[in-house]
Amino acid sequence: MVNKSEILRSLFNWWSCFKIDLTAAKGKYYGCFNTIMPVIGNQVKEIMALHLVKSYCLPQLMYRCEIWPLNSVNIREIDIIWNNGLRHIFNCCWRESVKPLQFYCQTLPISYLIGERQLLFYRKLLCSDNIVLRTLA
């Protein structure tokens, strides 16, 4: 459970143009991904491997993404991380587009998922009973 004071501190840092470091989120994602993939190996179907990665690794990468000040560089970096994971699961070449894979697996690009979570977060802020949170939103 996320502490409310942590969310407020992060929001104030975001509005004061403080750059949020995504290194920890990327490290946790890669750690989780590199733990799961060798264990399942080639014995598990790709869809099952994708489900495991989406269930356990993706939340590590998207932790607190609702309050990230995303610029085009950060969005591209996060998309590359997710796309490379898909390429690894499906054993694709790094030059191949992952859009057909995303369509086949019914998975949105991660930049869309982050945008969706940010919109839902701001909607919750606007509907909050707390006047400070509504003012911030």
Does this model's pTM top 0.75? My answer is no
Instruction: Let me know if residue 2 belongs to a domain.
Output: no
Number of domains the chain is built from:
1
To the nearest whole percent, how much of the chain has pLDDT over 90? 18
Which whole number is the average pLDDT over 58-84? Answer: 84
Instruction: Let me know if residue 8 belongs to a domain.
Output: no
Q: Is the pLDDT at 44 greater than 80, yes or no?
A: no
Query: Taking the CB of residue 29, how many other CB atoms lie within 10 A of it?
Result: 24
Rg (CA), the chain: 17
Instruction: Let me know if residue 24 belongs to a domain.
Output: yes
Please give the Cα distance from 13 to 31 (Å, whole number): 27
Q: Is the pLDDT at 52 greater than 80, yes or no?
A: yes
Instruction: Let me know if residue 9 belongs to a domain.
Output: no
Instruction: Let me know if residue 89 belongs to a domain.
Output: yes
Q: What's the confidence (pLDDT) of residue 17? A: 52
Instruction: Let me know if residue 5 belongs to a domain.
Output: no
Which whole number is the average pLDDT over 75-101? Answer: 88
16 compared with 115, residue with greater pLDDT: 115
Place 40 in a pLDDT band, splitting at 50, 70 and 90: confident
134's enclosing H/E stretch is helix 131-136
What CA dihedral angle connects 56, 82, 115 and 108, to 10 degrees?
Answer: -90
Closest to 61 (Cα-Cα) out of 22, 117, 105, 112: 22
Instruction: Let me know if residue 60 belongs to a domain.
Output: yes
Q: Is the pLDDT at 62 greater than 90, yes or no?
A: no
Q: What's the confidence (pLDDT) of residue 15? A: 52
Instruction: Let me know if residue 15 belongs to a domain.
Output: no
Residue 71: domain span: 20-136
